[in-house]
Structure formats: structure tokens, C-alpha cells
Amino acid sequence: MRTSKHLLTSVEVARFVAQGYLRLDGVVPPELNERAVAALDEGLPHVAYGTPLSAAFGQDTFVHALLALPVVAGAVESLVGPGPTVDHHAVHVREPHEGHAQDLHADAIIDVRPDAFDIQLMYYPHEVTAAMGGTLSVPGSHLRRINETDIGRVQNLRGQTRLTCPAGTVVLVHHGIWHSGRRNDTERRRHMYKLRLNPTVPQVRLWDTADLHDPAVTAELATAFPWYEQATARLEIHNRVLLWRALTGDDLFDVDHWVTRVTNRPTRPTRRSHV
């Protein structure tokens, strides 16, 4: 049973661990979307790195209202826990008939944490159509560590997604996902608000764990993606298992024994002396 805090389920968190993102389509009401577009056009004040989320945005701001929505608040808490801090936030606008797109990249410097992650909340206050150049992302790329635009020369990968969504959609992404903003070929500006959050508590069983042992959890964590190489794909699942073990505190969880077999170190039994 879902809790009153609207926490994510284990299956949903496992899907995030496998894919690197989680979509919440159309969860923001129209009146808040309208407020957001006006505020994004005006620009937002700077928020210092490390500011507690609870103190970062005034109660009269659209960001405060956005984060107070139960479905958004529950998803954020499920992934980074209560009391996260703000890493940074930014307004991304794609102008009409903009003639260029971003290179494929991951944000910030290479991040090798195997047992923790930041999330980036991406909020789209109006409908995004294919022609508007929605954010391109590569599912399952987040645990293959790169440094910013190391993959910028890559133009297309099998299975990549270009976001199209209804107004009021929120996408929560793992900080390591490969993504890029595409060009806008319409007459309308495209807005996106991004907020990166850092956890301040261990990210262990922060969600509704009632379905922790549902077979669908393992199925999500075993998902393959079309761009994976035949051999290297196993390393992606290996890294997911390591992250899932950290998130659940279950050091025995595995998918097809891929972690167990490469960490198996039997110890020599102690010899007893004979008296």
C-alpha cells in the first residue's frame, strides 16, 4: 500500500537504478505551470551551493509550490531522502528556430561514487512536442562514467529518447545520465527548469519497501538497452547490482550471480591443533 507521503515503490526505484531517470507526466497543475513560465522568463535568483532545500526558496515562489506537490515531494524523498541541499539550479530556454543543439554530455566532472548519487529535477511547464527539441537522453547510461563532453562526438545511439511530454511534467534523473538539449524548430520558446539536489543522509531504503522482494524488482534491474555492447552490458548490470545493494543494505542481492561470482573469495578453514 502506498503511504500518505507518496513515496516511490521498490519497483519504481529499481527502474530508476536501471534506466537513470523517472518520469512524472503531467503532475503539475495548469495554474502553477503558468506561474512558472512567467518566473522563468524573468529569471531566477542565485542559490548558493549547499543551501538546505527547506531554506532555498520562498513560500511565494513557484519552486516551493512545485516541490510541495505530494507526488514530487515523495519522489524526491524516495531518492535523496529528507533534508537535501541545493547543488545548483538553472533556467534552460530553447529559442524559436534555434539552429543548434547541445553535444551529448553528462553534467559536472566525472563522479565515481558507487553507492550514492545526486538527482536532477527537470520540470517542463508546458507541452513539449518533437519539433520543440525536447531533452535527449540515453537510458541506462548513468553508471558508465564519463567526464562532461567526452562523448560529444557521438550523434545518435540506438534506444536514445527525445522527450515529448504534456505540460507539467517532472523528470528526475541520476546525475550521471548522458543527455543533451535539442534544437527548437517551432515558433515558440521552450522552457525547462533544472534543480540538482545533494543527499545529506545515507540513501538506504528511503522509499516504500513493501514490494522490496517483488520479482518485478529483479526484472527492472536486469533490463538491457539497445545501445549496449554484448559483453560490456554485463558490467552495466554489475554496477546496478552494486548500487542496489547499497540502497537496500542487502549485500547478497544479485542478478544471475554476476556480482557474486566475481567477488567470491573463499577463506582457508582454520586448522585445529590436536592435543
Residue 3 has a pLDDT of 46
Integer Cα distance of 17 and 7 in angstroms:
16
Residue 156: what pLDDT? 87
* Residue 69: predicted pLDDT: 97
Instruction: Strands of the chain (E only): list them.
Output: 21-24, 51-52, 85-94, 119-124, 136-137, 161-162, 169-174, 179-180, 190-198
Cell of 252: 547478497
pLDDT for res 120: 96
Q: Could you read off the pLDDT of 39-68 as tens digits, one per residue?
A: 999 999 999 999 999 999 999 999 999 999
Neighbours of 228 (CB within 10 A): 20
Taking the CA of residue 37 as centre, how many other CA atoms within 13 Å lie in the half-sphere pointing to its CB? 16
d(CA 95, CA 106) in angstroms, rounded, equals 22
- The predicted pLDDT at position 178 comes to 94
- 154 near 227, Cβ under 8 Å? no
Q: Which of 224, 214, 223 is nearest to 9 (CA)?
A: 214
Amino acid identity at 158: R
Delimit the domains of the chain by residue range. Answer: 10-198, 213-263
Could you tell me if 83 and 54 are in contact, meaning their C-beta atoms sit under 8 angstroms apart? yes
Which pTM value belongs to this model? 0.92
The pLDDT of residue 272 is: 64
Low-confidence ranges of the chain (pLDDT < 50): 1-3
How confident is the model at residue 70, as a pLDDT? Answer: 97
Cβ neighbors of 220 (< 8 A, separation 6 or more) are 11, 14, 15, 17, 18
**Alpha helix segments (H runs only) across 22-100:** 30-42, 53-56, 62-68, 70-80
Tell me how far apart the alpha carbons of residues 208 and 220 are, in angstroms, rounded to a whole number: 17
179-180, strands of its sheet edge to edge: 161-162, 136-137, 179-180
Q: What angle do CA 75, 256, 269 make, to 5 degrees?
A: 115
Burial class (CB in 10 A: 0-12, 13-18, 19+), 237: buried
Instruction: Give the architecture (CATH level 2) of 10-198.
Output: Sandwich (2.60)
